[in-house]
Amino acid sequence: DTEVTQTPKHLVMGMTNKKSLKCEQHMGHRAMYWYKQKAKKPPELMFVYSYEKLSINESVPSRFSPECPNSSLLNLHLHALQPEDSALYLCASSQVSVGSQSYGNTIYFGEGSWLTVV
């Protein structure tokens, strides 16, 4: 069983709705991620948090708003989304990069949240 859990598993929302995706990890990691994945494509990085601070924002539209309340929780707030935002949203966690390669840099993913915008 994955130690990164995401809720909800499936979400359908209208373009005027406000909803949130939630993620929790129990691995003691201090880096957490949001990825977006369209069908038959690799995951695309959206945001990275290190020690609860936003360290990477890959020019994501402001209708996606991340939040890291503590070291084990990560939220993605959704507002005024478009149908093209429909995708699988993956949360992940890892140790914070220590500037050298190691097995410890492995990123572990949750089961994903399937989002449909109607």
Please pick, from the candidates 48, 76, 81, 117, the single residue that binds other proteins as defined by CB under 8 A. Answer: 48
Please pick, from the candidates 98, 116, 117, 118, the single residue that binds other proteins as defined by CB under 8 A. Answer: 98
92 binds other proteins (CB under 8 A): yes
Please tell me the distance from the alpha carbon of residue 47 to that of residue 66, in angstroms, as a whole number.
8
100 binds other proteins (CB under 8 A): yes
| Binding residues among 67-86 for other proteins as defined by CB under 8 A | none
- For residue 33 the two structure tokens come to 């991620």
109 binds other proteins (CB under 8 A): yes
Please pick, from the candidates 23, 46, 112, 115, the single residue that binds other proteins as defined by CB under 8 A. Answer: 112
Q: Which residue(s) pair with 4 in the sheet?
A: 25
60 binds other proteins (CB under 8 A): no
- For residue 49 the two structure tokens come to 């948090």
- For residue 53 the two structure tokens come to 């601070």
Phi-psi region of 25 (alpha: psi -120 to 50; beta: other; left: phi over 0): beta
Please tell me the distance from the alpha carbon of residue 1 to that of residue 8, in angstroms, as a whole number.
17
CB-count burial class (<10 Å; 0-12, 13-18, 19+) for 62: exposed
Q: What binding mask, one character per residue, do residues 3-42 give for other proteins by CB under 8 A, x or -?
A: ----------------------------x-x------xxx
Please pick, from the candidates 28, 51, 54, 106, the single residue that binds other proteins as defined by CB under 8 A. Answer: 106
